[in-house]
Chain A
């Protein structure tokens, strides 16, 4: 059993613009079950951060409890991190974000951590449009506690335990759309070509960016009768578009077929390029996204890709009109206007 990953890297993979190799974005070797979808999502996060040349100290990763919430140990060892309490990642992130608006916040949660115990926190983070990336590693079960059905498990899905799920599953992406989240998408751990650019775009989005990532639990929920198994997902997947994220300075690389391509410009000047595969869908029209999602579901299909983006997104700091300087760096002299100012204020009440 290996406990460390060798520090060698492929000689043709060069350091990125800030001088880091891909390995510099990795964490310790994973202790999750071999083949867990969560590890692939970790891999996609590593890839995305390497490609956008993120300086690791610019990011904070936060999580709750669950196999999914353990993953921050397996990526970005050189970033800030907080492994919080079950379902409480959103409130910890809210606090951190309020104190220091200069960091990029990456919240990692599971379907149990979010759709059950953490549901209240989740919806309020959306309501506040907290500037963060919120990734749910969605395996339809509580992996860490041996695979009980979670609240997102599909009706009728049968996990390894053998019981058909009698309840309706909660569609977290549908819920996020309903709650007016400003960036909503769904992806699959086994599709890095789509997932990596989606993570990059989510990081560039100013506001709450939600990614529901289907991530098979290889140990408890990867049997043929489960709707979250590798084989079921692969057989039923379809996407809204071919997706590419183009950072501000870069040239567009992919040639999209005429007529079907769309471009969404983000706040920081970077662009999302889409080659639409779904008719009647417009990434900036929430209703078309909701319709599209329901339509796919009615056909038993799993719709992936970007669903919706609000290009006018205003995050919590903007709504509250806080100062640009992170609050945690404000000194007493900035916060306390002094005695004479106090006197003059008092005067106005006399």
Chain B
């Protein structure tokens, strides 16, 4: 193998598993250490710079970081990264003065942002400090997009959302609320220097089975239903409710129904439990609220008597998978099942919808009527129009929308300055030794087995009565500290200097997880089998040194389950190992 190039900013970035997995590359271990040190304000600001909505995301993020967390590879469960973010948001002090302060000197450029969700808001935050005049259009009366219209208040209190949306709007964004943009052409005619489309995927799918038309008002489309409840256009539902679908929208619909009159709320899913799209914790929360989830039951018919919806008929299937893992649902032959219902909510997916973009403006559309968007620059086929968030590649989540927003803001800024938008700025990185003295480190390197702590919940009797009562109470400071201590500090890197090594093997012997090997070089395939412990996880890199001074061997470190405990560096007599903190920040427009 070739010697590892640790100058490549992505090498150590990859070792920080959580940060690497986070679409916005939030420096997770850095903020977790700050939480442990009770520096909540600082922890909040690190988050705010990367992910813009720490209070929102600390409650609702899809948390792609957690399955990536190293703790999950050496113990059972990952660090509760997401809920720790909330600890920072809940306990922070005054933060506004730490954010870029307006009024900003105008640079004479005007940008239109269509849609007021996290994608557009991120673009606004990144561009406002540079003096852009930003015009934000949204059909609703307040900003936030689906964070406001879809995510129910019992998961995300309105006050938390308002606070973080306002930090951005207060930077001098010109808002055009209650304005549904009917024509892209009209926007373009206003001579904006660039237009960003962050309109999400606002169309819920319906399911026109027999009886659909007759059932009329008692059939609801999930995302329309949630928006109606959020804006208090709807505050009641029947006693018996069926929710169709197995994703997170279905979970929000059933839990909302439980709070506005639903007594027997049943979620019916076509597919088996393990194929459900909803996050495990959302399913768990729904079941805790006595919601029944039935699997392997495809819907067949709405049963309507005398113009009144009575319920639904479901078939019964079992799943079979072929050798490629492709699923087939096969009827079991059992009789159909009737489930009574006063209301049915259809939550089986959402689509993009661009009826308002005229097709003769040079903005091309491809498959599924999605716009053709460059994955790096977020530029459409019309050079001054950019897309991001759910509008770009279909429904994802808030953190992905934020990440898109950052990239699009960089592009828009380059574009407005007449620069090549493919010339992306490099990330800002920093590598600093954590040594404070002999065997003393700036970080707490003692690692112990500690199972993940559970977030306390509000009493069910209270939270089910009022849809605005937040279910999760969040970690208090003490639990937050304990959970923060589970973090393995993966950003504190083991740095090897081969010409200092005397090959005494001390590091090899002390390493608790057998990460280090001194051996003869070879091909990666072969090397992976010849290490102190076989390196079977190929998604994790091997750190390979140059040839050592005393023998023709090399040092190989398997990054996979390194605990970042620093013992190798403590036991090395020559300081050939050092523990250095690696900070990685994706380039943003105003940093």
Contact = CB atoms under 8 A, between A and B. Distances in A.
Contacts, number: 105
B505 A34 contact: no
B510 interface: yes
Contact of B561 (A2, A11, A29): A11
B190 interface: no
Given A8-B74, A8-B563, A34-B570, A230 B502 contact: yes
Interface string B496-513: 000000111110111011
A9 B513 CA distance: 5
B575 to A, nearest CB: 10
B573 interface: yes
Nearest to B445: A2
Contacts of A190: 503-505
Contact of B550 (A23, A36, A231): A231
Contact of B502 (A6, A7, A22, A231): A231
Interface string B479-521: 0000000000000000000000011111011101111000000
A35 B514 contact: no
A43 interface: yes
Given A1-B440, A2-B446, A8 B513 contact: yes
A10 B533 contact: yes
A11 B574 CA distance: 30
Contacts of A13: 514, 533
A34 B572 contact: yes
Contacts of A345: none
Given A2-B567, A35-B572, A8 B512 contact: yes
A189 B503 contact: no
B448 to A, nearest CB: 7
B533 A12 contact: yes
B275 interface: no
Nearest to B71: A8
A317 interface: no
B580 to A, nearest CB: 18
Contact of B506 (A11, A35, A222): A35
B449 A7 contact: yes
A277 interface: no
A60 B146 CA distance: 68
Given A1-B570, A13-B514, A234-B551, A35 B439 contact: no
Interface string A210-251: 000000101000100000001100100000000000000000
B447 to A, nearest CB: 4
A263 to B, nearest CB: 25
A43 B567 CA distance: 15
* Interface size bracket, B side: 35 or more
A11 B573 contact: no
Given A9-B513, A40-B509, A230-B503, A33 B75 contact: no
A304 interface: no
Nearest to A189: B505
A6 B447 contact: yes
Contacts of A37: 504
Interface in A22-47: 22-23, 29-30, 33-37, 39-40, 42-43
A297 interface: no
B565 interface: yes
A30 B504 CA distance: 15
Given A11-B561, A43-B509, A35 B574 contact: yes
Contacts of B572: 34-35
A43 B73 contact: no
A18 interface: no
Contacts of A39: 505-506, 509-510, 571
Contacts of A22: 514
A234 B550 contact: yes
B73 to A, nearest CB: 7
Interface in B413-444: 438-440
A37 B73 CA distance: 32
Contact of A192 (B74, B502, B505, B550): B505
Contacts of A218: 502, 504, 573
A23 B509 contact: no
Contact of A12 (B75, B445, B502, B534): B534
A231 B438 CA distance: 25
Main secondary structure of the interface of A (DSSP, over half): loop
A124 interface: no
Given A4-B446, A234-B550, A35 B570 contact: no
Interface string B541-579: 000000000110000000001010111001111100000
A218 B440 CA distance: 21
A310 to B, nearest CB: 31
Contacts of B447: 6, 8
A223 to B, nearest CB: 12
A7 B512 CA distance: 7
Interface in B84-137: none
A2 B445 CA distance: 8
Nearest to B439: A1
Nearest to A33: B573
Interface string B52-81: 000000000000000000000111000000
B506 A40 contact: yes
A34 B575 CA distance: 10
A294 interface: no
Contacts of A8: 74-75, 447, 449, 512-513, 561, 563
**Which of B440, B506, B567, B572 counts the most A-chain CB atoms under 10 A from its CB?**
B506
Contacts of B506: 34-36, 39-40
Interface centre among B509, B515, B536, B572 (most CB of A within 10 A): B509
Given A2-B446, A8-B513, A40 B504 contact: yes
A9 B551 contact: no
Contact of B565 (A1, A6, A34, A222): A6
Contact of A10 (B561, B565, B566): B561
Contacts of B561: 8, 10-11
Given A35-B572, A39-B509, A6 B448 contact: yes
A34 B448 CA distance: 23
A83 to B, nearest CB: 21
Contacts of A2: 439, 445-446, 565-567, 570
Contact of A5 (B440, B512, B573): B512
The listed residue with most B CB atoms (<10 A of its CB), out of A2, A9, A11, A40, is A2
B449 A35 contact: no
> Most A CB atoms within 10 A — which of B73, B512, B534, B574?
B512
Interface in A93-139: none
Contacts of B533: 10, 12-13
A332 to B, nearest CB: 48
Contacts of B573: 33-35, 218
A121 B572 CA distance: 36
Nearest to A8: B74
A234 B534 CA distance: 27
Contacts of A6: 446-448, 512, 563, 565
Which 3 A-B pairs rank lowest in CB-CB distance, beginning with the nearest?
A35-B573, A43-B509, A10-B533
21 contacts: A1-B570, A2-B567, A7-B449, A7-B512, A8-B513, A8-B561, A10-B513, A10-B515, A10-B533, A11-B561, A12-B536, A13-B514, A34-B573, A35-B504, A40-B506, A43-B509, A189-B504, A190-B505, A230-B550, A231-B502, A234-B551
Given A4-B446, A190-B503, 12 more contacts: A1-B439, A2-B566, A8-B75, A8-B447, A12-B535, A13-B514, A35-B572, A37-B504, A43-B505, A43-B508, A216-B504, A222-B502
Interface of A: 1-2, 4-13, 22-23, 29-30, 33-37, 39-40, 42-43, 189-190, 192, 216, 218, 222, 230-231, 234
